[in-house]
Structure 1
């Protein structure tokens, strides 16, 4: 399959626009009757490394996996403007037998010594071109600033005339004045952003066409969003208030230059002096150490969960970062900081659940070794490319192609790259030794876990969590019950695990067990054999059957009318609400939970007979009858003579 790679560093690069590059690649694929995939890096510099260019990284991955065996690019500069990148790609194409076709040059012959020399020289020339161009651009930009002209997009509230001179945007000027006025009156930046969003005031970015890509630095997930959907945020408002542009002072390379002012210097200073007094939310923020910072990801939108804690504990949650912008939230729920941190630390580390996962062999030894070996191979390729580039650079200096002064920064970059790669290889080799055998991994981990306890320092706990846990994905299932679906990705090749957290109970979907967590004490109250008898596989997902806890033993309720969980969680109103929203759960025969209906049980006939009297009446009357009929309800929720307290209508 052919991989068509296209890249531009700027939208206005019309000579080499993405569309032109993709169209030429598509035309080539059709001429050769080849299937193809398209890889587009929009607004990405060719000087960046492979791992900083999402689509090139995906192309490399697809080449390594064997999916792509031919690559099309209009010219070498689209693939790279950095010698290390070219050497890495050159060796990758050679090692995998991948063909490379340039629109301007035709098929690239990797066996040609001349091609080898000229392509490397071209790569150095590309890098040199970028450096010299940057210097020229800086001089041109400084000249524009001195003349009062604009390069790129001006700040909100400004625009440029036909001659590119900076002028005040009369349509946006009132919005800037409104922001400063609201801030001076004591309104916080987040609230101002919220007010602007409610008024549907467009941001500068939302006026632009197209989409933009967002790479989550913690998860590596690339998200594509429409520019038109961008909203005002507190940080944007703060940036406007602090920007000296609005008082007529443009800061550029350490100096101030005069520009048209929207507000006076005195007024600007008053607003900035007052800024620190404003509060975006009630309650004093506290400096809280978040044990799971950077670890929790929203399972709905892919954003990070961030911690928020205040002295009064009115806010003490990890929540999706989408909540920072009103009207932009994905509606996923937050989780109490103490609760989730206690679950992760006490269950997975103090109770050695992670050690059990390693011991059980949830991921095979061969998979772990293969994953690590691939990482070692990639780093060795990078190391060899750096050594080769260093030798070539020395050769160019010797022949006078590049002066020592010009090569000084390149030599330093290569030296630093070699040191970093050597360090990475050392770490990978250490991991390789650790996972060489499952027994050795277990022994080393056992030594770690013998020292885990609640008395460890925060820094030690965080280091341990980072060592074993890669990501925690969180999704709120029931806002009233505060029940969550949790997926945990581990390091060391341990397979991902899925859990259901509700109240003091965590259910392992993968390992089929239910644990009661109370403080730092955990009791396994469900065995592997019992698990399938205690959960419901429904259209709403996997949930616990209606049950009660008797002496740390789960007792299923016979033919329950409660949807799931324990009776204490349900009252008249939320029962009615649930079945109105999920009518398929209500049995048309018994008026009870259809997923748990059992006609062989002693109380089945009683429900059938009584429901016939209420079937055509409002649902409320049926549940009032059930909850108020003490004797029958008590019989209904009895298992072999074990009673629970009578239910009352709330």
Structure 2
């Protein structure tokens, strides 16, 4: 099995680092080329300079799987993704040579037993470390100097914005909310109670005000895939309120290098205060007493969050589990406003999907035996070509702007400077779109999709933990649509599952008890092989016969059907006393 290791140090700026999607996609290409199954190991927001393997969880898992003999080859997009620390490199080098594991940086097989290559890669490791340390030192010195002078850096606390002078400036409307939060805490309300009060009053969060964009991006913790979140859905949380109450910035003291790691000097700078020092200190002394009034905070695990869509209103279904009233269901987030929706049991829904994807082999056989579709990526490749051509033009335009800005007669022209800045942003956006398109082109490849099915179904075991089970489900399922229909007595659910990388989807039906799931239909798009076309013709002839419509074989010479639907009438029956539970 090929171990694909991917890493980014943090939320890098667009175009400044190779995305997790591209690193993964390039690794899967090598797996396809080598005819190997694969497993992806992703560390997000973790520096390659860390000295301890345990500080890089996915890298640690990779090393364990190498030791167990599960991984026989390793791919990284470049050595710097794997490490920027000679100690880590020497441990990796020893382990792969001990276990006779092949190494594919940039997809090129590299013999790490060759003394010359061992020497060269060790020098590369030292170079990676030197570059990281020099860059970090320069950046830290700049940040320390600006912090000591009271300039802003990075995300600002709620209630502040960057002023024209680059320093902290109070936002009056948000400052009123900050003062309200401190007064509520002093009155004895716990942090989660305060969060609920703000949410009930529909007070916008920092996320909703931080920029003009309506969404922001985070990486899926289980698949490494990029996900876009609507800022309007972000609510106040108790932990956010707690951090605000502990933040000395609100009493006028901005602290930099608070933890004083790596011998960094703690820096304090004066900034405009929103609350008095007396109020801040009294609230913090009182926080210990308020901990008993924060309310119950329980965390539960949901396999299918992010996949389920309500067929009634188009909003998302989310898992909701409450110990107090024994509520445990996936529900439409608009429930109450969406009258036709109804919740589905978390445990039964998750167990049904596990059975369908991994245990019942009918789906695997259907997807693996599909004909190869060579046309899926044509439109995407055409779009990619346009983006790449546009990028070339923008880069030439950037060089032209730079030339003008270096001209003494034009260097102070604000319009040219603004056009230059806009052009730089456009270049970053195009680079990001090109990376995403390349990933989508690979996803559209039938061989790639089939390999993912083979890989996921072979990896799953009934003893597989929650994180791995969720990762495998999200690698196979693109979307699940739930449609509820109320009957005179009870009701039924129609559940439509769209498979990732395929045009195919399945429709199941179940009742409110959700123990028996009947596979009604298996649908696909337009035929992509002669065999599928002939099957569509036979189905059409059978329909004509049923309706008494005359026809001849000549009528079907150039026949092309739309979506094809096959009756399945298979079923999955769950044993209520033998269900997998993660909560």
TM-score band, normalised by shorter chain: 0.3 to 0.5
Alignment TM-score, normalising by the size of structure 1 = 0.39
For the pair shown, the structure with the greater C-alpha radius of gyration is: 1
Alignment TM-score, normalising by the size of structure 2 = 0.43
Bigger RCO of structures 1 and 2 (CA < 8 A, at least 6 apart):
2
